[in-house]
């Protein structure tokens, strides 16, 4: 009777509810992550606990159940964490801070690092810096606890934008989800509470496929090609079965160890996908030479077919010993694809409804000629290449179907990875260094070369020292030098095989606007927009590079009405301070350079307007701004030479950033695009104008486009 008086009236229990209550007696919960001691079992009068409830929610329900009914507080609705947004609840954030994670990381990427404990930086010994990219450096290091050699990928976050941290959080989530012998394994994370850098710890791999294929002493046999392709497709099969698209398959991202084991690496552009619940994705992914036609045509609804297209390009390259479609722009890349794989049918154009179909639709009809072009390939490989390089992504099938093709089921069969030859460490960097040494020796021989080698001084000057990046990174000095290369006249095997190391989201080499000396590793910045060290001597302007051989005798730039107030200088800017230009530009412009006008500006606003009037198209950005790459790629594909000015490369950058924010009416103001000296908008505005057909007339009116 006492029990009845202490509780509100309730309907009589049903047999099913009685059974559930009996089961509740035996249900246990995990201990609460707090200072108080929690009960091990639920009280008898507690309702069934939802399986997705957190530990703190269970503890709260227990406390409520122990109180009298009239004194129980009104229960507030709790927000459950959303993995895609990485917004952990407060108690999870506290647990991450207690585990040693910095707040700037746990606030944004809590879901990615949940359950892990950060490694201390002093438990690793750096051996060598093996690469540098736009947002990361890569070091060869030794784990002091185990003695194992590892690769440390240091990712820098130089601003307050949580989006850049979320991109890295997605990569960590993807790497934690995948577990396969042919996918690189994330072994740990190293971070600090005070700095804005994060180290990703990977196993160290001695080779990459691009470096091995470029070696003049290495020629793959058919069983070896089958072995590498079998491992690549097995890794892709695992990724796709776990809802992951890699979106940047290429030779330099396929790492190989001394046991012949191939692993897919660099998931910086990878994303989750669900074929049953599709959502729009960006088409600005995959390095240009390996980019599927639907991406070039602007598709935002795609699937595993884009990775399979890249795999087909890799297979054909290994058999042909050179790239099969080395385009320089998106238009040229599509032209090469249609010439080899045939023009899409009218049904395909109608069915796909791709955004850029009307712009890039070929006027001439091409016949598919893969069998004729690759007639010297093993006959069993042609059906697989035909499938993987199908124009319609639906016809590329899956990685599982590719593994079951006759290419792998007919002799000679794929060899075991352990039976592959033991190669010396060979990556793209090593191949380029070998070519440079050979070229240097030939040049030193002069006319009296004992081998009778014909002098090629003009080409040699343009082809000097282009060491390519290691595994997942890029040496910055190589980006500067690579702009002097014309891949069309490359003669050595390593010049032909590896593509220019490009950002996967773009179709051209990354810009050289960050740190001019590759040996210079700047101090780690605090997590903010303050610039902790002076960069006044490293101001970079967009424009053609100066040939180092001609740097001693530069031309004097004439004054014009637009820049008459800017003092001329008889010395050109060094090549390291110049930025990229369109590879299709006239060679006669190769000695043109822009002066540094900041000395005559009275304020940040004056300087912004001064810089905005220097060229027809000017982009203001930060060195860590992700969105700037998209708009630069668009102008590059249109043949527009846009000047890029990075505010954090100037000692007065903060003043200019504030002035720019007032001018464009938003904060942060970058990227900000000026056309004809007037602000047009950010990346979204430029892309909207382009898709609406209004960008080209605007550029033509400003004198930036002549055709």
Which residues does the annotation place in the binding site?
A: 153
User: Helices marked H in 389-518 — which ranges?
Assistant: 399-403, 406-409, 428-445, 457-462, 476-482, 493-496
188 φ/ψ angles, rounded to the nearest 5 degrees: 170, 175
454 φ/ψ angles, rounded to the nearest 5 degrees: -70, 140
Residue 664 half-sphere exposure toward CB, CA atoms < 13 A: 27
* 693 token code pair: 């057909």
Q: Is 248 a catalytic residue?
A: yes
Helix axes 103-113, 162-177, angle to 10 degrees: 30
Buried b (16+ CB within 10 A) or exposed e, 150-182: bbbbbbbbbbebeebbbbbbbbbbbbeebebeb
DSSP string, 141-204: EEETTT--EEEEEEEE--SS-HHHHHHHHHHHHHHHH---TTBPPEEEEEE-SSSSEEEEEEE-
Other residues' Cβ atoms within 10 Å of the Cβ of residue 447: 7
Going by the annotation, the residues of the binding site for ATP are 153
Cα(191)–Cα(333) distance, integer angstroms: 41
Query: Which of 248, 435, 480, 648 is the catalytic position?
Result: 248
Q: Please state whether the peptide bond connecting residue 668 to the residue before it is cis, i.e. omega within 30 degrees of 0.
A: yes
44 burial level (CB within 10 Å; 0-12, 13-18, 19+): exposed
DSSP string, 33-66: SSSSPPPSB--TTPPPPPTT--HHHHHHHHHHHH
Among candidate residues 33, 104, 369, 407, the one with its CA nearest the CA of residue 230:
407
What residues are annotated to the active site?
Answer: 248
């Amino acid at each position: 009777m006492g029990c009845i008086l202490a509780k509100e009236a309730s309907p009589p229990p049903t047999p099913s509810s009685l059974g559930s209550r009996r089961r509740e007696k035996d249900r246990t919960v995990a201990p609460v992550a707090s200072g108080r001691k929690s009960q091990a079992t639920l009280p008898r009068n507690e309702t069934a606990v939802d399986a997705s409830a957190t530990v703190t929610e269970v503890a709260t329900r227990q406390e409520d159940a122990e109180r009298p009914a009239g004194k129980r507080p009104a229960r507030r609705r709790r927000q459950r964490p959303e993995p895609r947004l990485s917004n952990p609840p407060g108690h999870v954030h506290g647990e991450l801070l207690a585990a040693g994670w910095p707040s700037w990381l746990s606030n944004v990427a809590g879901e990615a690092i949940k359950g892990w404990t950060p490694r201390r930086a002093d438990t690793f010994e750096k051996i060598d810096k093996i690469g540098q990219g736009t947002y990361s450096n890569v070091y060869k290091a030794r784990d002091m606890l185990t003695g194992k050699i590892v690769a440390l990928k240091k990712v820098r976050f130089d601003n307050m934008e949580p989006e850049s941290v979320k991109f890295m959080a997605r990569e960590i989530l993807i790497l934690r989800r995948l577990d396969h012998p042919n996918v690189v394994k994330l072994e740990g994370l190293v971070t600090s509470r005070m700095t804005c850098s994060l180290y990703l710890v990977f196993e160290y791999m001695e080779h990459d496929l691009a470096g091995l294929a470029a070696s003049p002493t290495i020629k793959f046999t058919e069983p070896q090609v089958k072995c590498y392709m079998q491992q690549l497709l097995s890794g892709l099969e695992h990724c796709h079965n776990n809802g992951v698209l890699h979106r940047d398959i290429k030779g330099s991202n396929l790492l190989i160890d001394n046991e012949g084991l191939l692993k897919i690496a660099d998931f910086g552009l990878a994303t989750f996908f669900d074929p049953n619940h599709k959502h729009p994705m960006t088409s600005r992914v995959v390095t240009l030479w390996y980019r599927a036609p639907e991406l070039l045509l602007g598709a935002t609804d795609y699937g595993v077919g884009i990775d399979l297209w890249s795999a087909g390009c890799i297979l054909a390259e290994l058999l042909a010993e050179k790239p099969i479609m080395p385009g320089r722009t998106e238009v040229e890349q599509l032209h090469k694809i249609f010439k080899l794989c045939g023009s899409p049918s009218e049904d395909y154009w109608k069915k796909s409804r791709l955004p850029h179909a009307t712009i890039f639709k070929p006027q001439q009809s091409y016949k598919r000629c893969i069998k004729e072009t690759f007639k010297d390939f093993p006959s069993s490989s042609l059906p697989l290449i035909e499938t993987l390089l199908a124009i319609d992504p639906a016809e590329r099938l899956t990685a599982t179907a590719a593994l079951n093709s006759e290419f792998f089921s007919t002799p000679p069969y794929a060899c075991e990875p352990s039976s592959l030859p033991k190669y010396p460490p060979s990556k793209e960097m090593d191949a380029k260094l070998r070519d440079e040494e050979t070229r240097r020796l030939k040049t030193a021989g002069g006319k009296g070369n004992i081998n009778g080698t014909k002098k090629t001084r003009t080409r040699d000057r343009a082809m000097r020292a282009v060491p390519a990046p290691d595994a997942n990174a890029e040496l910055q000095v190589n980006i500067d030098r690579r702009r002097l290369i014309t891949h069309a006249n490359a003669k050595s095997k390593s010049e032909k095989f590896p593509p220019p190391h490009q950002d996967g989201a773009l179709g051209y080499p990354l810009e050289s606007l960050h740190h001019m000396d590759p040996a210079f590793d700047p101090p780690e910045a605090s997590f903010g927009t303050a610039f902790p060290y002076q960069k006044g001597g490293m101001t970079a302007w967009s424009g053609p590079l100066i040939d180092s051989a001609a740097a001693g005798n530069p031309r004097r730039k004439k004054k014009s009405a637009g820049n008459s107030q800017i003092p001329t200088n008889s010395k050109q800017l060094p090549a390291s301070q110049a930025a990229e230009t369109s590879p299709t530009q006239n060679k006669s412009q190769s000695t043109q350079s822009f002066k540094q006008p900041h000395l005559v500006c009275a304020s940040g606003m004056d300087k912004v307007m001064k810089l905005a009037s220097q060229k027809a198209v000017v982009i203001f950005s930060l060195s860590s701004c992700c969105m700037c790459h998209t708009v630069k790629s668009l102008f590059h594909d249109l043949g527009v030479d846009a000047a890029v000015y990075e505010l954090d490369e100037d000692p007065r950058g903060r003043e200019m950033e504030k002035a720019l924010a007032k001018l464009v009416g938003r904060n942060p103001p970058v990227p900000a695009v000026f056309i004809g000296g007037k602000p047009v908008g950010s990346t979204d505005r430029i892309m909207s104008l382009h898709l609406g057909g209004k960008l080209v007339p605007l550029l033509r009116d400003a004198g930036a486009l002549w055709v």
